[in-house]
Chain A
Amino acid sequence: MFRILIIHTALLVALTPGQLPAQEPEDPSFTAEDIEFFESKIRPLLSKHCYECHSGKSDPIQGALRLDTRKALTKGGDSGTAFNADDPKASLIISAVKYQSFEMPPKYKLSGTDIALLEDWVTRGAPWPTETADSDNPTGEDINWDSLKTKHWAWAPITRPSLPDNAFPEWTMSPIDLFVGHELKANALSPSALATRRTLIRRVALDLTGLLPSPEQVEEFLSDKRPDAYEHLLDRLLASPHYGETWGRHWLDVARFSEGIGGFNDNQHLPHAWHYRDWVIDAWNRDLAYDKFVELQIAGDTTGDYNNAIATGFFALGPSYRSDGGDPDSKAAAQIETLDDRVDTFSRAFMALTVSCARCHDHKFDPIPTMDYYSIAGIFQNSPTHVTPIAPAEQVKIRNDAKAQVDNLNKPIGALDKKIKDAKDNATDEDKQTLETLKSERDQAQANMPPDYPNAHVLREGGNGNMHVALRGDLRKQGDIAPRRFLRLVAGAEPVEFTNGSGRKELAKAVTDRNNPLTSRVIVNRIWMHHFGRALVTSPSNFGTLGQEPSHPELLDWLASELMDNDWSIKTLHKTIMMSSTYRQQSRFREAEFAIDGDNKYLWRMSPRRMTIESWRDALLQATGELEWRLHGSSHRDIANARQRTIYAASSRSGEAFPSDTFLRLFDFPVMRATIAQRPSSTVPQQFLFLMNSGFMIQRANHFVDHLHRHSTENSERIEQAYRVLYARQPTEEEINLGVSFLEASAGSDDVKINRWVQYAQVLLSSNELMFVR
């Protein structure tokens, strides 16, 4: 039904507007030459001169006439059909551009050449390509939506798998170990022994809070004789407010969080962005159920609670491209790129679907027709970004009223002030007196004004219309209407159309519906990835047919079931994972296992990993005693001198607006232009230039030396303390000796500007052992 209908004019006149004939007539066939003529000469002409008022995008559509599909052209508007097939040159469109009937375009007359082109075109029968000619199946009519569930693992419903046999009874401590053990055995591998408590506490502390365990905490854990000491440790760390700072950051990557400034046509700074960051930190800290967490980010503004509206910063902080010249091509390009950010972030972040591939043509590999792209895009088209107060309405009103009062006083003050100045010596005492009175009133009002309320960048409801499919991704080439509704890949052949405002509320519910097989799988996979350094599905934001198969499909579904059965509690999921032997294994290299599974896909050990830049910088400041533990607040840009945790550093979308951007990017902080599935871990020489030569490192080394010198006067004791603080262990005798002999060697020449202790501290802070988690 979506294929464009070509209607005989004779038939059309017999119908009232809007009615369609019961029978679809055949498409008139146009030659390729005719179509080429239309595309190269006529479409651009119509687009440039007519569409401002006569397309589906026009508001209002003048005379109810649209000229953006052949169907609309023949249907005509208030004045009847614009194209007369029987006598083409008498068509209304021709007499109008000749200024014989109407005068179109109204502001200027088309050139003779253009008019001649239009005449030529209507004489040829108004050739127009079948609107879907460039796409095999933009509407998805040929897809058997019901059979998809059996075609690809990720589309299949989640059923709680039964537990496999216990392959390693002495090692197994949790259901997870059964799944992992099963695969290990099947691949002729065996698990590693459990890590020592020293290793574990450092691993767990960095994993959950992104911070080093203090020497005291290490000692406490080592001497804790309770059988459930490890569980107590997990509980303590999960309850730490620093947990949200670390796991919230993982989510901020997915949310491609930045404070705007994407450069040029998306160059707005988003000064209130940090409220969203703090909302995320809080949500993780209070273990907000993941389904609620998702729903609020999609439609929190519709709950009526301004705190929930902050969550929609997830979308509102994305790029909003503008056009600087305002010519139609540039405007359309800007608009569609903005929408693409929303669709792409929405679909990859929550469901690991690359819906954005279907923007210009049907998805080549997954069952996502272009129609479905615009079903989702339409929802966001109705959801403009907006800055809103995040304070009780009463507080906002009081402040606004107070501000208005000051402003109202400022106006006469300004006028009177000018009058007095202009009058110079002739200024009257009366005026001067009035001015003084007004000023004191104003100052009083100013003093009484309550403090400004905070604001946030949010989405708001801005319409309830549907979009058209934009042919080949060009908004100016409209195809069929794409009703707002969920993806058929998940919702089946006939999804319910969304009718509630923009449709975001319904969209949110569709995403978190238990029957949606993607949302829970996607988040447990992301959580798993951050615990192990490798995801079960190694394409965490693409579960489509071009993504990777899960290494442990049953484990993935078991975890997803656990999550949903535990009311989507992420903290419960952490504990489930971290209590397993799988998680508690050593990270030592094992040659035989490495030869079989060098990637550690089957988890025969814990993979050693490099810290994130956040953990590493925080650890440095923590070790030197400089870290400022304060949670929340506006961001810091001067990262070299700031002392708050790294999550509070400003980052721009372009990755180059703030000094903190440069610092962060040196160590794999991604440029936040699109949702980040997984950070790379790169080792490049520039990092070592920073470690060897930067003032930042010298400063940290100096502070660390101060700390060590306060601890003891003996070099060997200072060295021991350094190792305890940085690496949670005692140094070996060899290491102590190396340190001592380095420290006691001669200072060298005059141009040595840092002493031996600072040099040594710099080495310890630059070491692999600090930077790696095992």
Chain B
Amino acid sequence: MQPIRDFKPEQFGLSRRQMLQNMGAGFGSVALADMLAPSANAATSPLMPRAPHFAPKAKRIIQLFMPGGPSQVDTFDHKPLIAENAGQRPDLVNRKSLRNTKNGLMPSPFGFKQYGKDGMWISDLFQKTASHVDDLCFIHSMHTDIPEHAGAILMMNLGHLQPIRPSMGSWLVYGLGSDNQNLPGFVSMSPRAQARGKMANYGNAFLPGAYSGCYVNIQQMHPDRIMADLKNNYLPRLAQREQADLLTQLNRIDLARQESDSQLESSIEAMEMAFRMQFAVPEAFDVSTETQNTLDLYGDTEYAKGCLLARRLVERGVRMVQLSLSIDGYDIAWDTGHGDIAGGHKRLADACDQGISALLTDLKQRGMLEDTLVIWGGECGRAPTSEGQKGRDHDHYGFTVWMAGGGVKPGFRYVATDEFGLTAVENRVHVHDYHATLLHLMGLDHERLTYRYSGRDFRLTDVHGDVVHDVIA
């Protein structure tokens, strides 16, 4: 392995431009190894593992994405003063840009209990996740730019309000490569509906196409149909091999006529890789080999299935898995909080709590939590004041995310929002800072992970971002 900064494609007879061209850009799937070098020299594959900038605390990320804005004060940011001041409208919550929150403070409809060594208060929505509280590292002081889902979701997943930049997962695979050359380096999954913004949330934008995430719909999932045209419906394996051999033979005759051409060689290699993928990909997505204990641990919700697949994928070397929650095909699931926090949030938490808890247990049992970073959160939070009678509107001034494993302080809370939970007032962490921190945990300096495009060097954090060292163990 070579450090990314010293990676010289010239050593393989290729200019950097050529290499990037060959790696391609702009399609939403994966690109795998050995496509460039005549001798299948591993170091020339766009997905080959590359050394980080410095020793990483985490090697892979599982993002449990909660689009739509889960309410912090009904989940993990306990604010008892809301109940004491129910119906009031103190100055602190009197912020104009909140869109529909002219009413007073609304107490959480959920009970809160204390968990873990420090007795942290967590609502009854996440009782199973709460049992892991001593492994979780909360950031209660998140904030973002705007209170609209599309922009804020994109901000969370690609650091920009419009869908014109590479996603975080694409940046990670660009920076670090992947540990499995027969699987995508970055997989995005969700049941039924993709998170709003769809491909932008896992797309490569202007990065080479090899770094795009590959999307899998868990609901429709069948191991043979994870990727388009994965299975051959016309020929049994041996006959297909024979046909592939003929193609290779004719392509080699053609190559000999040209004498040498790295593009033609890449093409022959890529065909062989495709042949292997037909079998490696279904294997990774086939959960039938899991023990009954494991299956029981996760339970049978769709999101839990995604959690189990996430573990299987990172176990096989995938760099990042993004697992978005959706329910009833709704692409910003947690936004059901507008009308009814009690009912809406309950259904959503029920849909994911056990799966998340099982994932944490499973990773820990396998010794993988140490270098796997699990992150949970949405793109914004919800205001402590009420919208209508029972709902809450968006809050981008302050919200909560948590991280687990991968070098973060376990059982830690980074605080805080004001006493009603609306605005991050201390230790404020912007999404850019969060990204800088995640990259740092992965061994990447967010200011050095750059890509030259359209006249300038772009970064995940644009021109912003400070690593939050306080949350790092």
Given contacts A656-B28, A694-B229, A768-B264, contact A742 B246 (CB under 8 A): yes
In the complex, B117 has a CB within 8 A of chain A: no
Encode contact with A along B239-256: 1 for CB under 8 Å, 0 otherwise: 110111011011101110
Which residues of chain B have C-beta atoms less than 8 A from A594's C-beta? 260
Within 8 A of A (CB), among B430-473: 452, 454-456
Which residues of chain B have C-beta atoms less than 8 A from A174's C-beta? none
- Is there contact, CB below 8 Å, between B247 and A766? yes
Residue of A nearest to B196 (CB): A264
Please tell me which one of the listed residues B27, B149, B161, B271 contacts residue A665 in the complex, with CB atoms under 8 A apart.
Answer: B27
Within 8 A of A (CB), among B138-161: 145-151, 161
In the complex, B24 has a CB within 8 A of chain A: yes
- Is there contact, CB below 8 Å, between A329 and B97? yes
- Is there contact, CB below 8 Å, between B250 and A680? no
Least CB distance from B74 to A in Å reads 21
Interface size class of B (residues with CB under 8 A): 35 or more
- Is there contact, CB below 8 Å, between B251 and A655? no
Least CB distance from B148 to A in Å reads 5
In the complex, A767 Cα to B235 Cα: how many Å?
19
In the complex, B233 has a CB within 8 A of chain A: yes
Given contacts A680-B26, A735-B250, contact A589 B146 (CB under 8 A): no
Least CB distance from A559 to B in Å reads 22
- Is there contact, CB below 8 Å, between A693 and B164? no
In the complex, B13 has a CB within 8 A of chain A: yes
- Is there contact, CB below 8 Å, between A337 and B263? no
Encode contact with A along B196-240: 1 for CB under 8 Å, 0 otherwise: 111110010100111000000000000000011111111110111
In the complex, A589 Cα to B264 Cα: how many Å?
12
Which residues of chain A have C-beta atoms less than 8 A from B35's C-beta? 683-685
Which residues of chain B have C-beta atoms less than 8 A from A326's C-beta? 99
In the complex, A608 Cα to B259 Cα: how many Å?
12
- Is there contact, CB below 8 Å, between B209 and A656? no
- Is there contact, CB below 8 Å, between A330 and B162? no
- Is there contact, CB below 8 Å, between B275 and A654? no
Residue of A nearest to B32 (CB): A685
Residue of A nearest to B266 (CB): A683
Within 8 A of A (CB), among B36-59: none
- Is there contact, CB below 8 Å, between B20 and A748? no
In the complex, A429 has a CB within 8 A of chain B: no
- Is there contact, CB below 8 Å, between B246 and A763? yes
Within 8 A of A (CB), among B156-209: 161-164, 196-200, 203, 205, 208-209
In the complex, B297 has a CB within 8 A of chain A: no
In the complex, A655 Cα to B97 Cα: how many Å?
33
Residue of A nearest to B394 (CB): A325
Given contacts A670-B26, A684-B210, A766-B247, contact A693 B146 (CB under 8 A): no
In the complex, B82 has a CB within 8 A of chain A: no
In the complex, A588 has a CB within 8 A of chain B: yes
Please tell me which one of the listed residues A354, A587, A734, A748 contacts residue B455 in the complex, with CB atoms under 8 A apart.
Answer: A354
In the complex, A665 Cα to B278 Cα: how many Å?
20
Number of A-B contacts (CB under 8 A): 276
In the complex, A486 Cα to B198 Cα: how many Å?
38
In the complex, A400 has a CB within 8 A of chain B: no
Please tell me which one of the listed residues A547, A654, A745 contacts residue B163 in the complex, with CB atoms under 8 A apart.
Answer: A654
In the complex, A226 has a CB within 8 A of chain B: no
In the complex, B368 has a CB within 8 A of chain A: no
- Is there contact, CB below 8 Å, between B243 and A683? no
- Is there contact, CB below 8 Å, between B148 and A325? yes
Given contacts A751-B236, A753-B233, contact A689 B274 (CB under 8 A): yes
Which residues of chain A have C-beta atoms less than 8 A from B253's C-beta? 732, 734-735
In the complex, A84 has a CB within 8 A of chain B: no
- Is there contact, CB below 8 Å, between B27 and A325? no
Which residues of chain A have C-beta atoms less than 8 A from B234's C-beta? 693, 698, 752-754
Residue of B nearest to A265 (CB): B150
In the complex, A329 Cα to B95 Cα: how many Å?
14
Given contacts A264-B196, A680-B26, contact A588 B246 (CB under 8 A): no
In the complex, B284 has a CB within 8 A of chain A: no
- Is there contact, CB below 8 Å, between B243 and A759? yes
In the complex, A668 Cα to B20 Cα: how many Å?
13
In the complex, A112 Cα to B89 Cα: how many Å?
13
Please tell me which one of the listed residues A323, A610, A692 contacts residue B229 in the complex, with CB atoms under 8 A apart.
Answer: A692
In the complex, B273 has a CB within 8 A of chain A: yes
In the complex, A99 has a CB within 8 A of chain B: no
Within 8 A of B (CB), among A722-774: 732, 734-735, 738, 742, 745, 748-749, 751-754, 759-760, 762-764, 766-769, 771-772, 774
In the complex, A562 Cα to B251 Cα: how many Å?
41
- Is there contact, CB below 8 Å, between B228 and A330? no
Which residues of chain A have C-beta atoms less than 8 A from B164's C-beta? 673-674
Residue of A nearest to B331 (CB): A264
- Is there contact, CB below 8 Å, between A682 and B263? no
Which residues of chain A have C-beta atoms less than 8 A from B26's C-beta? 655, 665, 668-671, 680
Q: What would 22 A/B residue contacts be, using CB atoms closer than 8 Å?
A: A111-B94, A263-B150, A324-B149, A330-B148, A546-B452, A546-B456, A589-B258, A594-B260, A654-B200, A655-B28, A668-B27, A670-B26, A680-B20, A682-B22, A685-B32, A686-B274, A688-B274, A692-B271, A694-B229, A759-B239, A768-B251, A769-B254
Closest 4 A/B residue pairs (Cβ): A682-B24, A354-B455, A688-B274, A685-B274
* 16 additional A-B residue pairs with CB within 8 Å, beyond A366-B455, A671-B26, A753-B235: A49-B96, A263-B197, A263-B198, A265-B148, A327-B148, A337-B162, A354-B455, A365-B455, A591-B260, A608-B261, A662-B28, A683-B270, A685-B273, A693-B229, A751-B235, A752-B239
Residues of B at the A interface (CB closer than 8 Å) are: 13-15, 17-18, 20-32, 35, 91, 94, 96-97, 99, 145-151, 161-164, 196-200, 203, 205, 208-210, 227-236, 238-240, 242-244, 246-247, 249-251, 253-255, 258-261, 263-264, 266-268, 270-271, 273-275, 277-278, 394, 452, 454-456
